[in-house]
Chains A and B, each alone.
Chain A
């Protein structure tokens, strides 16, 4: 394999593996949000706000993986 091929492979692996954790995390947040809204529909607004906040924090990890992948493809 030449360097270019390894770079592409590394970028794919970086974002692919990096998205597993946040994917599970966001799924769990959605589960919690749906359950909370089901149990207490009046609190839907507050639950939504907190849910999106938590999703954003989980997603940030995937974003770091994306940054690494973009650096590998376009910069390194």
Chain B
């Protein structure tokens, strides 16, 4: 009996897939091509226009702050219940402990001071990436007269809702919500914070001698040919601080933006079943990017705070 239900379900799913490919919107050539643009769309609220990535950012912030405020309320109030964690507090403590132990492995006993920054990086990027997968992101918004240089669509009215149709027209969709990291400004800001804080921790750990890493005058004066080499390596090190900003920023932006485009295109081509696989992929990519951002920052901080003595 159970097997029959499973087979039936699979058949129905395949049927829907085939239907959507051949008889549905795609087969009849009535697909609404998704409109893809790199800067955030801005929808009007009264006199001002609000970028939709800002809304995604605020929602991610509120979710995180809400979760952690609710999870730690007993601890912050100093109640005795905090000693025996229940419910949300368990979840929050598990997340924190897992990440903290992971980072302590990389950074050793220097970790404690940097934990808040690194864990915030991870959790913020994770939540900001994953809320993209909530239905309604990128697809629900207001319909506006088309901007210059953009292909428009005609609209049709279904009950109280306006829908874009495949025919050419002069309307376009401005979504209310879009993931924060699909706006280059957010990943670049995170990258700048990450690189700047690496310098701060480096100076805190090694004092002003930290900057010998970049301008190695000591080696130039005393080292002969190898000293000149070491000086040149220092200059390269300076350059790599700037390329770090670019690669941090564009890695996160590129992955999440490509994910958004992928989901939009696949959902418009094969509306049933097929997007599921890509949602799974995006779940994975979002988590990996958050992990990579945190781990790379941790590794760079570990390099920056290691003294000369510790290398040998």
Interface positions of A (Cβ within 8 A of B):
45-46, 49, 52-53, 55-56, 59-60, 63-64, 66-67, 70, 74
Contact = CB atoms under 8 A, between A and B. Distances in A.
B179 interface: no
B33 interface: no
A52 B246 CA distance: 18
Interface residues of B, number: 14
A63 B296 contact: no
A63 B299 CA distance: 20
Given A52-B291, A74-B38, A45 B105 contact: yes
Given A56-B247, A56-B251, A66-B250, 7 more contacts: A46-B105, A49-B295, A52-B292, A52-B296, A60-B243, A63-B250, A66-B254
A2 to B, nearest CB: 16
Contacts of A53: 295-296, 299
B81 to A, nearest CB: 34
B292 to A, nearest CB: 6
B295 A63 contact: no
Contacts of B243: 60
B105 A63 contact: no
Nearest 9 A/B pairs, CB to CB: A60-B247, A63-B250, A66-B254, A74-B38, A63-B247, A63-B251, A53-B299, A56-B296, A67-B250
Which secondary structure characterizes the binding site on chain B?
helix
A46 B106 CA distance: 8
Contacts of A74: 38
Contacts of A59: 247, 251
Contact of A60 (B38, B105, B251): B251
A52 B288 CA distance: 10
B292 A56 contact: yes
A33 B291 CA distance: 17
Contacts of B254: 63, 66
Which secondary structure characterizes the binding site on chain A?
helix
Interface in B28-56: 38
A63 B246 contact: yes
B299 A67 contact: no
Contacts of B247: 56, 59-60, 63-64
A49 B246 contact: no
Given A56-B292, A70-B38, A74-B38, A49 B106 contact: yes
Nearest to B254: A66
Contacts of B246: 63-64, 67
Contacts of B250: 63, 66-67
A49 B38 contact: no
B152 to A, nearest CB: 19
The residue in B106, B254, B291, B295 that gathers the most chain A C-beta atoms within 10 A of its C-beta is B254
Interface in B275-312: 291-292, 295-296, 299
A38 B180 CA distance: 39
23 contacts: A45-B105, A46-B105, A49-B105, A49-B106, A52-B291, A52-B292, A52-B295, A53-B295, A53-B296, A56-B247, A56-B251, A56-B292, A56-B296, A59-B251, A60-B243, A60-B247, A60-B251, A63-B247, A63-B250, A66-B254, A67-B246, A67-B250, A74-B38
Nearest to A62: B254
A45 B102 CA distance: 9
A55 to B, nearest CB: 8
Given A56-B292, A67-B246, A74-B38, A49 B299 contact: yes
